Amino acid sequence: MPKRQRHNDSCLGYEVVFTEGNKSTPCCPHGPTLLFEKTRKDGERGRRFFACSACRDRKDCNFFQWEDEKVSEARVLAREAENRLKRPLFSQQQCIARFRQFISLPMDQKKFCGDCQTLLLPQEHSAHACHSCLSVSASELRRPSMLLRPLVDKKSNAQYLFTERTSRFLLETLVGMGFHKVLCVGTPSLHELIKLEKLETPKSKPMKSLLLDIDFRYAQFYSQDEFCHYNMFNHHFFDSEGSSAELQTFLREGDGEKVVMVADPPFGGLVRPLANSFSLMSRTWRTLQKTLTECNMDMPMIWIFPYFFEPRIVECFPKFSMLDYQVDYDNHSLYKHGKTGRKQSPVRLFTNINPSLFVLPKEEGYRFCAICKRYVSSLNKHCAKCKVCPSKDGRQWRHCSLCEKCVKPSWRHCESCSRCALPDHPCGKSSPEKMGCFNCASMDHKRNACPLKRNRSSKRRGKKNVSATCRPIKSKKTTIKQTVLK
């Protein structure tokens, strides 16, 4: 048997291969696997293998199979048994029935086990007696993202929840644009806010929301038309029949019920598989609109990702543009909004919606550029030569007449490299530098200096990282290293 390859620490990277006709691939507990190909320096084709679409770390999912490998019947059966074993303990239907029972319990019986991350029914209390259990109030029950411990793993993968400021900005912007339905892909706190708003300010036409997430713990709190167990790296619905019906109902735009998708994938995630899933989503949406079947309209989408992925996102979605708005997160000290230093969040909105429709808040340091017709960071000065507001990172960039483009303020033009670079760049050796960062693919720094090697500073509840009942999938934040395309 070939030596099992660790696909997460290569210095060359792997590329995902999409085969013609989307041949089916073997399944791991996270649905169909992806076909990877090792990228080789000499440009030759590397050996291909199937590996998990969702997990970057072999500890979380160790599925591995060479593309040309013969798999015995016995192994196929063993694999199927293992996949079944890794299913959540309760089905979504059971979760819903449990939730109904839970909300009818008297206040002092409403308990949540922090260790197991599960809402408990009275007959289960004794089994969790030595766990850290909490009483849950009705309002806490409406904020599952606060109740559930954000998923973490040692490899810097985790769930990062929007600050209230960011989720309110997103929601108000979408309401302002006239959307009535938000497909929340990996955005549980936005989903939650939409539901809360509906309760607090009942309107004639409230915003609807459907959460698609791989974190099955959320199934404990939502009905079937509010949550689908979904993997955004392979567009896999774990409960295919039920979910697909819910999704179709949601995506079908009734009278003035405009849909928008908001996705906040794990940042280490592979751009191409994500783009592939979002295109499939858009295609489903298109087939459901009576009036659109003939034309090439795309579903309105917002993809939240760090700014240095811009070239790759735009390569996949040429109609997408990146906005200056800095998305910030509650449980990440490096991502907090600010004007200076590392506190500037590198996370942005990528969208196919007209950028001029996004009104970025002046009080947070954005201004309107009348020439570009969009809101930009106040330090992002319009360049008459480039004819754009060029800054990507919120700092003021300056124009280099030799490079004929605007560059970062810290860069200087280097005669021997014939381009602008950091003063201490490895001069004359531009090729290794082209590899960029292996953590996030940015060309601006190496892995050691990566701002996305996130450390967690969560104030949320709970202690341990194990679950006996719901078996949440622990680490989904990042996947296999991407190859740097440009």
Residues found near ligand SAH in the complex (CB under 6 A): 54, 159-162, 186-190, 213-215, 230-233, 264, 266, 476
Tell the smallest beta-carbon distance from residue 151 to ligand SAH (Å).
6
Name the residue nearer to Zn ion (CB basis): 199 or 403: 403
Q: Which of the listed partners (ligand SAH, Zn ion, none) does 271 bind, with a CB threshold of 5 to 8 Å by partner kind?
A: none
In this complex, which beta carbon is closest to ligand SAH, that of residue 212 or of residue 441? 212
In 3D space, the residue among 258, 256, 267 whose CA is nearest the CA of residue 309 turns out to be 267
Structure-token pair, residue 242? 């039920």
CA distance 101 to 124: 13
Buried b (16+ CB within 10 A) or exposed e, 256-290: eeebbbbbbbbbbbbbbbbbbbbbebbebbbebee
To ligand SAH, the closest distance from the beta carbon of 393 in angstroms equals 20
Site string for Zn ion, 368-407 (x = CB under 5 A): ---------------x-xx------------xx-xx--x-
Give 61 or 288: the residue with its C-beta nearer to Zn ion. 61
- Round the CA-based radius of gyration of the chain to a whole number and report it: 23
Do residues 330 and 143 make contact, with C-beta atoms less than 8 angstroms apart?
no
Q: Which does 161 bind (CB under 5 to 8 A by kind): ligand SAH, Zn ion, none?
A: ligand SAH
Query: Position of tokens 């959540």?
Result: 88
Least separation, in Å, of the C-beta of 438 and Zn ion? 22
Closest to ligand SAH by CB, 158 vs 484, is 158
Options 7, 38, 110, 128; binder of Zn ion; rule CB under 5 A: 128
Token pair of 481, please? Answer: 């290293």
- The residue among 345 and 442 lying less far from ligand SAH, judged by its C-beta, is 345
160 binds, among ligand SAH, Zn ion, none (CB under 5 to 8 A by kind): ligand SAH
In degrees and rounded to multiples of 5, residue 241 shows phi and psi of: -70, -55
The least distance separating ligand SAH from the CB of residue 165, rounded to whole angstroms, comes to 12
In whole angstroms, give the CA distance from residue 345 to residue 451: 9
Q: Which is nearer to Zn ion, 252 or 408 (CB)?
A: 408
Q: How far is the CB of 36 from ligand SAH (least distance, A)?
A: 16
């507990």: which residue's tokens? 29
Q: Parallel, antiparallel, or unpaired for β 34-39 and 227-231?
A: unpaired
61 binds Zn ion, rule: CB under 5 A: yes
Q: Which of 301, 420, 452, 480 binds Zn ion (CB under 5 A)?
A: 420
Task: For residues 115 and 136, give the distance between their C-alpha atoms in angstroms, rounded to a whole number.
Answer: 15
**Least Cβ distance, residue 228 to ligand SAH (angstroms):** 10
Q: Would you count residue 113 as binding Zn ion (CB under 5 A)?
A: yes
Q: How far is the CB of 314 from ligand SAH (least distance, A)?
A: 22
In angstroms, give the least distance from the CB of 153 to ligand SAH: 11
Check binding of 367 to Zn ion (CB under 5 A).
no
The secondary element (H helix, E strand) that includes residue 287 is helix 271-288
From residue 40 to residue 59, what is the string marking binding to Zn ion with x (rule CB under 5 A)?
A: ------------x--x----
Binders of Zn ion among residues 218 to 277 (CB under 5 A) are: none
The three-point CA angle 233-237-243 to 5° equals 145
Please state the closest distance from residue 106 (CB atom) to Zn ion, in A: 20
> Does 97 contact Zn ion by CB under 5 A?
no
Tell me the two tokens of residue 123: 């007959």
Nearer to ligand SAH, 288 or 349 (CB): 349
How far apart are CB 124 and ligand SAH at their closest, in Å? 25
Pick 227 or 411: Cβ nearer ligand SAH: 227
Give φ, ψ of 448 to 5 degrees. -60, -30
Residue whose CB is less far from Zn ion, 33 or 442: 33
Task: Yes or no: say if 158 and 477 are a contact pair by the CB < 8 Å rule.
Answer: yes
As a whole number of Å, the end-to-end CA separation of the chain is 35
Q: Which one of 3-11, 115-123, 145-153, 268-276 is the stretch in contact with Zn ion (CB under 5 A)? A: 115-123
Q: How many CA atoms lie within 13 A of 456 on its CB side?
A: 17
State whether residue 155 is helix, strand or coil.
coil
Nearest residue to ligand SAH by CB is: 186
Angle at 56 (CA atoms; ends 55, 57), nearest 5 degrees: 95
User: How many CA atoms does the CB half-sphere of 155 hold within 13 Å?
Assistant: 20
**CB under 5 to 8 A by kind: which of Zn ion, ligand SAH, none does 4 bind?**
none
Which residue from 76, 300, 262 is spatially nearest to 170, judged by alpha carbons? 262
For ligand SAH, the closer CB: 231 or 276: 231
Measured between alpha carbons, how far is 385 from 278 in angstroms, rounded to an integer? Answer: 35
Question: Which residues, at least 6 apart from 237, have a Cβ–Cβ distance to it below 8 Å?
Answer: 228, 229, 230, 243, 244, 247
Using CB under 5 A, list all residues that contact Zn ion.
28, 30, 52, 55, 61, 113, 115-116, 128, 131, 383, 385-386, 399-400, 402-403, 406, 413, 420
